Structure 1
Amino acid sequence: MTLLEIIILAIIQGVTEFLPISSSAHLLLPAELFGWVSQGLAFDVAVHVGSLLAVVIYMRKEISMLTVGFLKHGFSKNQSNESKLAWSVVIATVPIIIVGYLMKDWIALNARTALVMAVTTIGFGLLLWYADVKASLTRKLDSMGFSSAIIIGLSQVLALIPGTSRSGITMTSSLMLGFDRESAAKFSFLLSIPAILGAGLFSTIELIQQTEAVDWMALLYGAGFSFVSAYLCIYLFLNWISRVGMLPFVIYRLTLGTILLWFVFG
C-alpha cells in the first residue's frame, strides 16, 4: 500500500468504527472506486489497535469507575450503579462472542458483498431514524439494567452482517429502550471495547499463523492515524449528538447505500 492509501484507510476505520454509519461499507468503497487491494490482516489488526486505544483513553474515567465498582460490589447482593453497568457491558457482549465464533466463517463467505452492505446500510439507517424520532430520551446510563443489556446485546449480533454498523444498531436499540442520545452513544462506546478487542485477538491469532512479511511502518502509520481520527470522532460525536440527533447520519447512510446499489446494478 502507498502512504496515501494507508492514511485514508486508517482514517476511515477510526471514524466509522464509532459513528453509526458502518465501517465495512466504507472500507469496501476504496476497492470499488480505485481498485485498491485488500489492506491485509496485519494492517487490519493495527488500525483496530489504534481505535481501541482511542476509546479506552477517552473513556478512561468511566472505565476506572466501572472497574472499581465491579471489584467492590460486582459479586455482592447490593450492586452499585457502577457494578450494574459493568455487568451490563459483560452481559451485552456475550451474544456477539458466541454467534461471532460460530458464524464468522459463514458470514465472511456469504454476506460480505456490496449488495448485502447496500441493503443493510439503507435498512438499518431507516431503523435508526425511526428509533431517534420515536425515542423518549428519558433514561440515563445509570439506569441501565440487565434486561436492557440483554436486548442491546442481542441486537449487537446483527452487526456481524456487513453494513449494519455495530455502533448504529446498539444506539438504535438503546434509543428504542428510552435512553437519551448521549447515554446510548456512551454505552455503545463501552461495548466497542470488548468487541474490538475480541475481533483483534481473532485476527492476531490468524496473523500469527501466516508467514507473510510485515511492513511495520505501514502498521505504525495505520495505528497512529486510526487512533487520532477515532479519538476526534468520539469527542465530536459526544459533544454534538444531543443537539443534532441522528438525522445527518441517516441521510448519510441512505446516500452511501444508494452509491453501493449503483455499483451493484450500475
Structure 2
Amino acid sequence: MIEALILGFVQGLTEFLPISSSAHLRILGEFLPGAQDPGAAFTAITQLGTETAVVVFFWRDIVRIISHWFGSFTGRVPRHDPDARMGWLIIIGSIPIVVLGLFFQDEIETVLRSLWITATMLVVFGIILGLADWAGAKRRKLDQITVPHGIYFGLAQSLSLIPGVSRSGGTITMGLLLGYERAAAARYAFLLAIPAVFGSGLFQLFKSFGEPAVYGPIETAAATIVAFVVAILVIAFFMNYISKHSFLPFVIYRILLGGVIFVLLGTGTIQAI
C-alpha cells in the first residue's frame, strides 16, 4: 500500500509537467523494495485520477465545449463557433493515439518500457522542447487552432505511448513549434488528453479483472485517489507558471534525469526490463 501511495503521488506530481509521468513510475519502480515495473495497466488506471483532476479544473470549459458542440447539430449554435470547433478538434486530435495505441498495444506494454528507451526519450524530447520553446513564435491563441494543427497535436500526443516522451510535453512541444502561446498549447494539451486517458484507463481497468498484477485493486484505487488530489494542485501551479516563465527548468531536469538513468543502466545498478 505504501509503495502504491508513493507511485500515486508521483503520478499526480508529474502527469501534467512536461517530464513524463510514465517514465517516473517506470524508474521509481526499480527503487522500491519489490524492484519491479508497476506495469502499463497500473500507470493507465492511476491516470484516471489525474485526468479527473483536469475535468474538475476545466469543468466550465468542458461543459461549454460539449454543449456548443451538440448545439451546432441543431442550429442553436453556429457551426463555426469556437467551442463547437474545439469539440471537433479534440475528437480529431484523439484519433491518432487511439489507432496507434490499439495497433502497438503489445509493444507498449513490453519492449517500449525498456529503461534504455525511456532515458533516450527523456533526453531527446527534452532538447526538442527546449528548442521549440526558444524558437516558437508564441503568438497564436487557442481559438486559432486549425484542423491540420489538431491532427499534428494528436500525432504528438500519440508519442506519449513511449515512456519518457510525456503526453503534455509532446503536445506542448508541437504547439510551440506551430507558434502557439505556452498557455494555449498547455490548455489544449490537457483537454486533448481527456478522451485518450479515460479510454485507455477504463480499457486497462476492464482488462485487469482476473489478471495478475503488481498491485491489487485496493492499492491501485488508493494510488488513483492520491494522484487526483496532487494533480489538482499541480495543474493550478503549472498554468500559472507557464504564463510567466519558460520551460527551461523542465528541459534541464529531463536531460539530467535521462543522463542519470544511462549511468545507472551502464553500471548495472538497475535493469532495463
Q: TM-score, normalised by structure 1?
A: 0.92
Letter in 1 for 2:225: G
- Structure 2 counterpart of 1:51, one-letter code: T
Equivalent residue letter for 1:60: W
Q: Which aligned segments of 4 or more residues in structure 1 are displaced greater than 6 angstroms?
A: 211-214
Cα distance in 2 for residues equivalent to 1:213 and 1:188: 30
Distance 2:212 2:67 in 1: 41
Q: Aligned partners of 2:155, 2:44: CA distance in 1, in Å?
A: 25
Q: Distance in 1 between matches of 2:107 and 2:215?
A: 27
Q: CA RMSD in A?
A: 2.1
Alignment match, 1:162:
163
In 2, Cα distance between equivalents of 1:41 and 1:129: 28
Equivalent of 1:19 in 17, 20, 25: 17
Which stretch shows the higher mean deviation, 175-184 or 29-38? 29-38
- Cα distance change on mapping 1:125 and 1:91 into 2, 3 Å: same
* Distance in 1, Cα, partners of 2:111 & 2:151: 27
Unaligned runs of 5+ in 1: none
- The CA distance in 2 between the partners of 1:180 and 1:150, in whole Å, is 18
Q: Which residue of 2 aligns with 1:59?
A: 58
Query: Which residue of the partner structure matches residue 88 of structure 1?
Result: 89
Quote the residue 1:70 is aligned against. 69
The 1:178–1:214 alpha-carbon spacing in structure 2 relative to 1, beyond 3 Å, is closer
Structure 2 partner of 1:238? 239
The residue type equivalent to 1:71 in the other structure is: F
Q: Gaps (5+ residues) in structure 2?
A: 268-273
Aligned AA (2:122): T
Give 1:173 shift: 0.2
Structure with more of its chain in helix, by fraction = 1
> Which is worse superposed, 221-230 or 42-51?
42-51
Q: Tell me the equivalent position of 1:207.
A: 208
Report how many aligned residue pairs link the two structures. Answer: 264
What displacement does 1:209 show? 4.3
> CA deviation digits over 1:149-185, x for unaligned, max 9?
0111112222112211111000000111111000111
Which stretch of the first structure deviates more once superposed, 35-44 or 163-172? 35-44
Residues 165-244 of structure 1 correspond to what in structure 2 (within 5 A)?
Answer: 165-210=166-211, 215=216, 217-244=218-245
Per-residue deviation, 1:107:
2.9
Percent of aligned positions that are identical:
35
The whole-number CA distance in structure 2 between the counterparts of 1:212 and 1:112 is 16
